[in-house]
Amino acid sequence: MKTQNDHDLRDQEIEALRREVAYLRKNSEQTAGRLLLADTQAIAIRHELEQKRRGFRLMADLAVSLGRETDYESVFVSVSRRINAALSMQRTAVLAPDPDGGFSAVVLQGYPPHEQKVILECRIEIDPEMLDPTHPVLVTGADPDERLASVRKALALPYLISSPVMLHDNVVALLVTGRLVEERPYLPRLGESDVETVQMVSVYLAVMFTGFRLRHAEILASYDPLTQLFNLRSTTESLRHTLEYAQQGGYHAALLFIDLDGFKDVNDTHGHAAGDMVLRIVSERLVNCVRESDIVGRIGGDEFVVVLTHISQPEDAAGIAGKIVDSLSRPMDVQGARCQVGASVGIAVYPEHGEDESALLHAADDAMYAVKNNGKNAYRYAITAKGTEKGS
C-alpha cells in the first residue's frame, strides 16, 4: 500500500518532468527563432550576392556592347535598356543639363508613349543632392513622401536611384532609374547593391564620354570641319606615307594642287553661306573624281590637294587632273542660285618633281600659279629638273 511519501515523490517527479518539458519547449522555440533568423539572414545575403552578380554581369555586358556604339544617344538608350533588364528596374531616364541650370530628359526607357511626350517636353528642376557624384541618391518606401517630391512626380518614378555622370567636375548627364512599386520577392525595396551598380554605370558612362571626346578631338585635329576632308596636317602626313610606299615599291605617285577660280565672286555675290555650300559640293566632286585609295584634302580657304597614291606613269595624273577641271567647271545649284567656279591645277609627280612632301607641294603650287597666270581653269605639270613642263 502506497504511502503519502510515495505520492509526494511522484508529484515531485511529475513537476520536474513538466519543468524539463517547459525548458525544452522554450529552448526549442529559441532554437527555431535563431534558425529562422539565420535563414532570413541567409536569404538576405543570397539576395545581396545575386544583386552584386547581376551588377557585375551588367557591367561586363556594357563593356562588350557599348564598344560598338558611336554616339551619346545610342549609349544612353543601350544603358537604359540593360539597366531595366539586369536590375529589374521598371523605368530609367537619362537627363541632360540645359544652359539655364535645369535638366531635360533625353532618353526614357519603360515609359508609355503618352508619358514620354509629357516628360520630354518639360524642364525638370534637380535638387543639388542629386548632383553629388560621391553620394548617389536612394529613395525608397522608407523615405517620407516629400523627399525629392518634385523630381519623383516629374519623372513619374516614386522609388529611385540617381547618380550623375561627371566629366572634369561638370555634370554632363544624370542617370535616374527605379520602380513604381515595392513588392517582394520580385520587386523588393531598392538597396545599396543597386546603388553601387548604378554608380558604377555612371562612372563607366563618364569613361565612355571621355573616349568620345578624345575621338572627336582627333577628328577635329585631322579633318576640315566644313568639308570633312583631310586638313593640311593629315594631308601632308598621308603624302609622306605615300612617298615612303612609292619609294619601297619603286612606283610613281602624284600630287595635284587645286585652287578654285572665281570663288571670291561667289562669296561677294551670294554670301558666305553659299560659298560654304560651294566648297562642300567641290569636295564631293573631287572625291568622285578619284579612286578610293587616293587622298583628298582641303588645305586652305579654296585650296585643295589630291594625292594619287599609285600611278603607272607620270602621264596618268593628267587624266585625273582633266577630269577634275571638267567636273568643277560644271554649274552648281546653291540655295536656288546658279554658281560656277573653275579650277587651276598644278601637278607634281614623284620622283620626277621631288622626293619628299615639301618639294612636291612647292612644285605643284608653282605649277598651279603658272596656270593662274595663263588663263586659269586648266592643269599644268611642274617643271622637271631639265626645265621642261606639260600643260593643257
Would you identify the CATH topology of the domain 232-381?
Alpha-Beta Plaits (3.30.70)
pLDDT above 90 (res 101): no
Sequence spans of domains, the chain: 65-220, 232-381
- The residue behind cell 568622285 is 288
Of 177 and 7, the structure prediction assigns the larger pLDDT to: 177
Quote the pLDDT of residue 362: 95
> What is the structure's pLDDT at 7?
65
**Grid cell locating 361:** 607641294
**pLDDT per residue over 254-309, tens digit each?**
999 999 999 999 988 889 899 999 999 999 999 999 999 999 999 989 999 999 99
In this model, does residue 58 exceed pLDDT 80?
no
Report the range out of 179-188, 199-208, 341-350, 378-387 with the highest average pLDDT: 341-350
φ, ψ of residue 62 in degrees (nearest 5): -65, -40
The predicted-structure confidence for 116-152, as pLDDT tens digits, reads as follows 999 999 999 999 999 998 999 999 999 999 999 999 9
Tell me if 65-220 shares its fold with 232-381.
Answer: no
Q: For residues 130 and 105, give the distance between their C-alpha atoms in angstroms, rounded to a whole number.
A: 15
| HEC readout, 375-386 | CCCCEEECCCCC
Region 139-166: mean pLDDT is 95
Which of these, 276, 273, 345, lies nearest to 306 by C-alpha position? 345
- Answer whether 270's CB lies under 8 Å from 337's CB: yes
Cα dihedral angle (64, 65, 70, 72), rounded to 10 degrees?
Answer: -110
Name the pLDDT band for 242 (thresholds 50, 70, 90).
very high
Give the global pTM. 0.55
Burial group, residue 330, by CB count within 10 angstroms (0-12, 13-18, 19+): exposed
Q: What is the reported pLDDT for 12? A: 75
Work out the pLDDT band at 348, boundaries 50, 70, 90: very high
CATH number for the domain running over 65-220: 3.30.450.40
- Quickly state the pLDDT bin for 54 (edges 50, 70, 90): low
| Residue 288 pLDDT | 95
Q: What is the mean pLDDT of residues 239-249?
A: 91
Nearest alpha carbon to residue 348 among 307, 385, 381: 381
- How far apart CA 286 and CA 304 sit, in angstroms, is 9
